[in-house]
Structure 1
Amino acid sequence: MKHKPLIDIFALGGTIAMSADPGASEGVKPILSADDLISAIPGITDIADIRTKQVANVGSANLSYQDIAKLITMAKDSDADGFVVTQGTDTMEETSFLAGLYWPISKPLVFTGAMRNPSSPGADGPANLSDAIRVAASDKSGVYLVMNGEIHDPCRVRKSHTSNLSAFRSDGGELGVITESEAHFNQSLSRFAVLDLPKELPPVAHMMCVFDQDPLILDGFVKAGFKGLVVEAFGGGHVSEAWHDALASLAHDMPVILSARPGGGRVLKKTYGYKGAEIGLIEAGLVPSGRLNGMKARLLLQTALAAGLNWRQLFKEYADLW
């Protein structure tokens, strides 16, 4: 008889765990437990032995580095064959990416959630969780994000819609799909060097460029205690002339990462030569993030600073992983 894999479910809350609160007049809240989520999937225990662990029960905007560090530590101490994290989709592209930087074991860790809460017609939570369990029960080690029948690389995935079931899209396409209850992979997962978990991450600011914004908004980052800045610039890595001067000055005092505001493609390095374009910004000390978007570039810089690594070299290596 074939051995059934043992899967730990780490539940953090989010839409997948939300239902109407009897004491509230409207709206849903994260009140369902991990056991409630599993009970909504008929026959799932025929696929794997399931253990549930309620780590938190909040909207994902309330999650922190400490929550991710806690579940990674729990996984290290577990005898399970694979792991699934259920959480809100608002920050899942960031938490899954962060977990990938610290994932220390050769087993699958799969993030999933829901775009529609359990009381909505066509709620997608049970199907997403079932798919995630199947990926976690595979022999594909590493960290994944599974939504809407698709398997995504946390490095490349982005939530691109507020409510559609197909909200998650990856730059370069998904890693694979779940078809007829089986996981099929057509791309390889990006691999990072695994770092040791620090007690905390240093504060790094994230700023998106918008039309005709005064660079005065950049003043005070150093005094406020930030240890670095990620700038999501226009196009392939462009800012105004006034912002060029402000960022060049700031780069003397802290690490400044140059990211791109569009949802796909990489930061340019040598195409545009006018003041405010990527050539001058890189010469002024800004470091391009490659195809990592601003949100993930911020997390990578935080992990580099926390570990005391050469952050310039780290971005040079990681920005060209795919």
Structure 2
Amino acid sequence: MSKIQIIATGGTLDKEYDSLTGELNFPQTHLPQIFAQALVTAPVEISPLMALDSLQMNDSDRQMIAKACIETNAHQIVVTHGTDTMVETGKMLITLGESSEFDKLRGKTIVLTGAMRPFALGNSDAAFNLGAALMAAQTAPPGVYICMNGLLHSADRVQKNRQLGVFEAQ
């Protein structure tokens, strides 16, 4: 069984409440704890790349994600990402994959996922979305996808419905 590369970029999934400041921050990724709690036996390798709220993410950060996807030998990749700009990152990965500089993105299955509620605060959708993304990375054909709310969408045909707090086909 091939290894699944997990690229952690922050987002709500990894946020934690700081009771001293009253703010949400990123002390460390919760991915090992989520995998242990969910009894994940799929071979995964976690690579923390950045710890950002996706509203702070820019095109340079997105290129770092693309380069991380290229540099791994894995062909099955899950990127944890904040939900606010997940679609923009997915679309950029598709566009970059069409260029000669990033042509090594082609042939890889890249699945972006995240959470609407932080894992550390409980009652989170993080483990469910991450589990679905792991399965999608193993079964979907090469391409760039967003996996949220039990659904898998091509990254260029999905939108976040902010009123309902879900991702839906565009």
Please report the TM-score for the alignment, with normalisation by the length of structure 1: 0.47
Equivalents in 1 of 2:49, 2:164: separation in Å? 25
Question: In the TM superposition, what is the alpha-carbon distance from 1:162 to its structure 2 partner?
Answer: 5.0
Equivalents in 1 of 2:31, 2:164: separation in Å? 20
- RMSD (Å) for aligned C-alpha atoms: 1.7
Q: Does 1:148 align with 2:135?
A: no
Q: Deviations over 1:220-245 (max 9, x none)?
A: xxxxxxxxxxxxxxxxxxxxxxxxxx
Structure 2 residue corresponding to 1:12, chosen from 9, 16, 23: 9
1:43 is matched with 39
Evaluate the alpha carbon distance shift between residue 160 and residue 27 of structure 1 in structure 2; reply closer, same or farther with a 3 A threshold.
same
Equivalents in 2 of 1:32, 1:126: separation in Å? 16
Question: Structure 2 matches for 1:259-278, cutoff 5 A?
Answer: none
Question: In the TM superposition, what is the alpha-carbon distance from 1:50 to its structure 2 partner?
Answer: 1.0
Q: Deviations over 1:174-203 (max 9, x none)?
A: xxxxxxxxxxxxxxxxxxxxxxxxxxxxxx
Structure with the larger RCO, 1 or 2 (CA within 8 Å, 6+ apart): 2
Structure 2 residue corresponding to 1:59, chosen from 53, 56, 61: 53
2:117 is matched with 116
Unaligned runs of 5+ in 2: 98-104
1:131 is matched with 132
Aligned length: 161
Give the strand-richer structure, 1 or 2. Answer: 2
2:167 is matched with 168
Equivalents in 1 of 2:24, 2:64: separation in Å? 26
Secondary structure of 2:139's aligned partner:
coil
**Identity rate of aligned residues, in percent?**
28
2:25 is matched with 29
Question: In the TM superposition, what is the alpha-carbon distance from 1:139 to its structure 2 partner?
Answer: 5.0
Q: Does 1:158 align with 2:159?
A: yes
Equivalents in 2 of 1:119, 1:78: separation in Å? 28
Please report the TM-score for the alignment, with normalisation by the length of structure 2: 0.86
- Alignment-mate amino acid for residue 39 of structure 2: G
Equivalents in 2 of 1:14, 1:32: separation in Å? 12
1:68 is matched with 62
Between structure 1 and structure 2, the one with the greater Rg is: 1
